[in-house]
């Protein structure tokens, strides 16, 4: 029995995406301690040192068109992406989780109305809906958070509702009804803990998409306004100089691709770990 348990643990450890975890660990460390480790101010201009190539003394990744250190702006731009993604997941996840549980458990007209609202939001292309919100409310971090949250809450609701429809037919839920428990108590005490794994997986899979959407809005000029650094805006500003100053575009673009890919790989691993069907196959 002990040997079998050891084999299970080894199997899960072998599947841990070590490289993505290292990348994400470094990413979080850098953006959290950017104020300490960044060599310069992210907005301080130094025109005599504009467009210095990577490897220049004092500027490891070079400088941009205004002489600002690219490494420093990369650190602070990552902080913007992390803050936006965490707040969006908190807001959108909470709304989507609540709507999904209520719709799935109560059913009937409540379910029909809530799911039609979800369908309306899911029918719009995410980037189009986010741009409408961003342009209407004006650029800024608060606007980006509202715009992306309005796009992604419906995705949480649809997935959560599907799980709730299965869980509410279980015997322990029926026993809770017979015991006279209120719907609110049943949803909070019995439904919520049983769909939490699904909720975590959805969040892990969406965080990369949120970062991509925030960067896309900033790239299009509807996101974080200058001079606050944002990876999407850095890529957008650098694309004009791709022939003469390739680092302005490729450095933030490479960082963006690495972080999004790492989050997606971590989300896939969590989905495998938390999938009860896969655990049943492995005997975990």
Q: What is the pLDDT of residue 228?
A: 86
What's the rounded Cα separation, in Å, for the pair 116 and 47?
A: 54
Asked whether residue 83 is domain-assigned, the answer is yes
CB 194 within 8 A of CB 274: no
- Over 60: is that where the pLDDT of 29 sits? yes
**Banded pLDDT at 276 (limits 50, 70, 90):** low
The answer to the question of residue 201 being in a domain is yes
| Domain presence at residue 219 | no
Residues across the chain: 284
pLDDT, mean over the chain = 84
- Contact (Cβ atoms closer than 8 angstroms) between residue 64 and residue 70: yes
Look up the CATH number of the domain holding residue 175: 1.10.3720.10
In a domain, 200, yes or no: yes
Is the per-residue pLDDT at 100 higher than 50? Answer: yes
Nearest to 70 by CA among 39, 100, 101: 39
- What is the percent of the chain where pLDDT is above 90? 27
Nearest to 212 by CA among 267, 256, 268: 256
Angle formed by the axes of helices 192-219 and 70-106, nearest 10°: 140
Is the omega angle on the peptide bond into residue 74 within 30 degrees of 0, that is, cis? no
User: What are the beta bridge partners of residue 59?
Assistant: 56
pLDDT at 12: 55
Averaged pLDDT for residues 187-213: 87
Tally of domains in the chain: 1
65 domain-assigned: no
Assign 63 to helix, strand or coil.
Answer: strand
pTM reported for the whole predicted model: 0.84
Average pLDDT over residues 66-86: 91
Residue range 147-166, pLDDT digits in tens: 888 888 998 998 899 889 88
Spatial contact of 60 and 71, defined as CB atoms under 8 Å apart: yes
Q: Is the pLDDT score of 7 beyond 60? A: no
Q: What is the pLDDT of residue 143?
A: 83
Domain contains 258: yes
Q: Which pLDDT value is given to residue 60?
A: 92
Condensed to tens digits (0 to 9), the pLDDT of residues 31-58 reads 899 889 988 889 888 888 898 899 888 8
**Distance between first and last Cα of the chain:** 12
Contacts of 278 (CB under 8 A, 6+ apart): 272
Domain presence at residue 135 = yes
Please check the confidence at residue 102 and state whether its pLDDT lies above 80. Answer: yes
Boundaries of domain holding 253: 71-214+227-282
Residue 1 lies in a domain: no
Confidence of residue 103 (pLDDT cuts 50, 70, 90): very high
Angle (deg, nearest 10), helices 70-106 and 247-274: 30
Angle at CA of residue 97, ends 22 and 89, nearest 5°:
35
């Amino acid at each position: 029995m002990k040997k079998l348990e050891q084999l299970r643990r080894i199997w899960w450890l072998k599947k841990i995406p070590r490289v993505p975890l290292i990348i994400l660990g470094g990413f979080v460390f850098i953006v959290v301690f950017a104020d300490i480790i960044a060599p310069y101010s992210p907005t301080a201009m130094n025109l005599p040192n504009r467009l210095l190539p990577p490897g220049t003394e004092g500027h490891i990744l070079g400088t941009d068109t205004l002489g600002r250190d690219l490494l420093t702006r990369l650190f602070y731009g990552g902080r913007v992406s992390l803050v936006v993604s965490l707040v969006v997941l908190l807001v959108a996840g909470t709304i989507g989780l609540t709507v999904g549980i209520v719709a799935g458990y109560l059913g009937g007209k409540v379910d029909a109305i809530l799911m039609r609202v979800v369908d309306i939001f899911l029918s719009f292309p995410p980037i189009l809906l986010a741009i409408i919100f961003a342009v209407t409310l004006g650029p800024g971090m608060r606007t980006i958070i509202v715009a992306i949250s309005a796009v992604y809450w419906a995705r949480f609701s649809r997935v959560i509702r599907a799980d709730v429809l299965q869980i509410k037919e279980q015997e322990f839920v029926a026993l809770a009804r017979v015991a006279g428990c209120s719907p609110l108590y049943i949803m909070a005490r019995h439904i919520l803990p049983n769909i939490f794994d699904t909720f975590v997986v959805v969040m892990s899979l969406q965080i990369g998409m949120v970062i991509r959407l925030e960067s896309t809005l900033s790239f299009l000029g509807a996101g974080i306004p200058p001079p606050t650094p944002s990876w999407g805006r850095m890529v957008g500003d650098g694309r004009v100089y791709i022939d003469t100053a390739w680092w302005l575009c490729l450095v933030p673009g490479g960082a963006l691709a690495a972080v999004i890919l790492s989050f997606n790989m971590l989300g896939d691993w969590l989905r495998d770990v938390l999938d009860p069907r896969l655990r049943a196959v492995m005997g975990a």
